[in-house]
Amino acid sequence: MLASPIRMTVCALLMAVLAIVHPHTAQAQVAPRITIDSSPPGATIFVDGAMQAERTGPATKVRIGKGQHRVRLELEGYRPFEQMLNIGAAQKFAFQLEKAPARLDIKFPATNDGARGAEIFVDGQPAGTVPQLVDLPGGRHLVEVRKPGMKVYTETVEVKAAETRPVWVIMQSDVRTGGLIVSADVPADVVVDGQPRGQAPVVVDNLTEGEHVVEVRRNEPGAAPWRQNVRVVGSQQTKVHANTTPPPPAAGTLMVVTSVGEAEVQIDGVSKGAPGQPISLSPGQHSITVTAKGHKAVTKVVEIEAGKPRVERIEMEGDAMTRKVGMIRIVMANPIDGAQYYINGRRYDEMAALSDSGVEIASGKVIVVAKKDGFGQDSKELTLAAGSTETVTLNLRNVGKIYIASEPKGAFVMLDRQLIGQTPLTRENVSSGPHTVEFQMPGFDQKTEQFNVRSGETEQVSVMLVKTKEPEADKKEIRRGLSSFSAVTNPFGAFTADIGSGYPWLGNVRLTVGVWKTKNSVLGELGLDIGTEFRSNFFSDHEAAGTIRFQMLRKGPFALGLHMLIGGGGGPRERNSFSWELGLPVTILAGSMVKLTGKAYVQVYTDRHCPSVDSINEQYKNDRNEFIRRGDPRDSSEGGGAEHTGDRCVGRSYDPKTSYPSPIYGVTQYNGTAKYDANNPDFQVDGTGVLERFVGVRAMLQAAVELALTSNVSFYGILEGAPFQKERQLFTDKFNRLFPIHDTPIYGRMGITAKFF
């Protein structure tokens, strides 16, 4: 007995020693104390499914081992709350509980399923169909259940929060009934929805509200029943009166007899088989048609009497195929009184020959003739097939024939103002009497002839056409239409002289002379002219050029051409330039007064702005002062010369504030300058050495307007440029002080054109 207390004391002492030696180990073995509270308080606490406390509160504490744990709180009237917690040390948790809703379990008993599928409304709002669980807040609620054909079920239910209350729905039928009063024009049996209901007049009660089929049947055999759909209204009697149809009278019989075998009988379009057998027919008129192969069909109308037999004999005639005959119908294009008609030489009366049914003729070759004195005759030959009908159109006219010719041939002929062709030609069936013929041919005067056509004869009309004199040109109007910059070339011998000013060429003189002009039926007008041009900026560059302009088309107010320019020039310091341009001008003309032209062209150029290396070494090696003057970009009082507008060759050193070396000094390394190298960026402009040639290609756009001030003078204005294109250094301050540092992309000029013809 004493060993056990001693053993417990020893164990306690050992644990105390361990706690002192390893305090962290001791702490790890004791579960942390956790405080759990809920709002509202009083919830039961479950940890990992085991209850830990019956009621929560500010001082509710439980011990939970470290790690992950599932904590659940339950409180009556509230939804259960559950959450995973990670416990590491003593902590305090507070949880908000959500009120649990009330619930109605709306269903029907097993003994009465009339409410199945009915619509549920709670407080007037749809809530599904029976059966159904409906969540709603606690309190008093109105439950309605509705179903077609059933009375509405209504119940007021009191339910508490978190309570599930059953609602048993039992629905009763709501079928309404009414009645029918059925009468008829004769005593007859009444059947409603297939059920006998007595003899009319009769009252039929206890019929459900809705559609019902009512039949009234007469007692006579063969009488068709009277039938109608009638709608019955609840709690009311609906009246129905039947006007019945008596049975049809007794049928008669018809027997068709014919001498032709294998015939077929049709009564009112319905086949009844072969002749010789009685056919039952209703009294009255009927159509009989008898057909047989190789015979004409026969149709008759017969009267059948009720209950009496009738025999009808039909005589049949062989058809056209069997008899090898056909029909000829004669149609006169222009009926002539007194004409005679012949078929295969036999004369036929006019009424018979022109009848709609035609004339029966043996099959084979047939010749049809119509004739009359003074009108000649008209005939047609044809082959008539057995059983066929041929229509022959004949025409007796008081007509003649004409032969028309002209010199030269090919003139257009208008007969009585109607175009009939080109000479020579023969025209038949021309009505007798006077006529007019007109001859028309391009380049020749129009000629008109009158002649008379006699019936049955040929009239000849021949003429000699005279060439049309060309109208004298209106030189004043031609001068007004002359142009220097459009797609329209000048006529042979006509020329224009232009003088103008603009940028980058301050002065511009141009002369354009017409070389060739012609007209074309397809392209309208073609032409060629040539020109020469001189342009200068008066200080550094002067150019002379030649131009060629070809007019490819002119239709109405539009013209299309091809323009080429080739030229070149130069200036001080051995500078020179060459250009080649090729463009496509398109012009819109407003008569001879205004010409609007747009041109796209390509420009190829090669420019030298400074002396070459060889030239510097060769020309200036013995003239030191000239060498110094040409290499100094600034005014200098120490041996240098003042630079003028057109005498500039400094490249990148145009700015006196920069330290770029002089390219001219660099050739001989004068004054310690770096050696000139065309590949050295310090001696380059736009990637090209300053002392080298500048070569480039640019796509240009040009717009020009020419306005005729008088017949001899026009004003012109031109706007052109090379947007987004490479600079042409010829027009920059790097080589000519007249221009800005960079080439502008837009050029223009205007001036006056003098015109001569």
Nearest residue to 290 via CA among 272, 305, 308: 272
Q: What is the CA radius of gyration of the chain?
A: 62
pLDDT tens digit sequence for 505-545: 999 999 999 999 998 888 989 999 999 999 998 877 899 99
Record: fold of 475-608+699-756: Porin (2.40.160)
Same fold for the domain at 102-168 and the one at 475-608+699-756? Answer: no
Nearest residue to 608 via CA among 698, 540, 702: 540
CATH of 322-394, one of 3.40.50.720, 3.30.2320.80, 2.60.40.1120, 3.40.50.360: 2.60.40.1120
Q: What is the pLDDT of residue 415?
A: 92
Q: What is the pLDDT of residue 656?
A: 54
The CATH class of the 31-100 domain is mainly beta
Query: What length is written for the chain?
Result: 757
What's the distance, Cα to Cα, between the start and end of the chain in Å? Answer: 155
∠ Cα 395 400 406 (to 5°): 135
Q: What is the pLDDT of residue 21?
A: 44
Q: Which pair of structure tokens corresponds to residue 211?
A: 């559609």
Cα four-point dihedral sign 58, 63, 68, 72 = negative
C-alpha 78/C-alpha 163 separation (Å) is 10
Q: What is the dihedral angle through the alpha carbons of 449, 450, 454, 460, rounded to the nearest 10 degrees?
A: -10
pLDDT tens digit sequence for 568-619: 999 877 889 999 999 999 999 998 899 999 999 999 999 998 888 888 888 7
Superfamily of domain 399-464: Immunoglobulins (2.60.40.10)
Q: Which residue has the tokens 């019945």?
A: 244
Cα–Cα distances (Å) from 84 to 24, 51, 71, 87, 473, in that order, read 26, 16, 6, 10, 111
∠ Cα 717 718 724 (to 5°): 155
DSSP 234-268: TT-EEEEEE---PPPPPPEEEEEEESSTT-EEEET
Q: What is the pLDDT of residue 648?
A: 60
Q: Which helix (H) or strand (E) holds 63?
A: strand 61-63
Q: What is the pLDDT of residue 6?
A: 55
Q: Which pair of structure tokens corresponds to residue 9?
A: 């004391």
Nearest residue to 481 via CA among 525, 446, 437, 448: 525
Q: Sheet of 279-281: strands edge to edge?
A: 279-281, 252-258, 309-314
**Residue segments in the chain with a per-residue pLDDT below the cut of 50:** 1-5, 10, 17-28, 635-646, 653
Record: fold of 102-168: Immunoglobulin-like (2.60.40)
Q: What is the pLDDT of residue 682?
A: 82
Cα–Cα distances (Å) from 122 to 112, 118, 150, 204, in that order, read 22, 13, 18, 42
Q: Which pair of structure tokens corresponds to residue 157?
A: 């239910």
Q: Which pair of structure tokens corresponds to residue 432?
A: 């007798």
Q: For the chain, what are the domain ranges?
A: 31-100, 102-168, 322-394, 399-464, 475-608+699-756, 613-691
Write the burial class of residue 296 (CB in 10 Å: 0-12 exposed, 13-18 middle, 19+ buried).
middle
- Residue 466's identity, in one-letter code, is V
Q: What is the pLDDT of residue 376?
A: 66
CB 192, CB 200: distance < 8 Å? no
Q: What is the pLDDT of residue 406?
A: 92
∠ Cα 246 250 254 (to 5°): 145
Q: Sheet of 164-168: strands edge to edge?
A: 132-136, 102-107, 164-168
DSSP 26-50: HHHHSPPEEEEEEESS--EEEETTE
Q: Which pair of structure tokens corresponds to residue 1?
A: 């007995």
Q: What is the pLDDT of residue 20?
A: 44
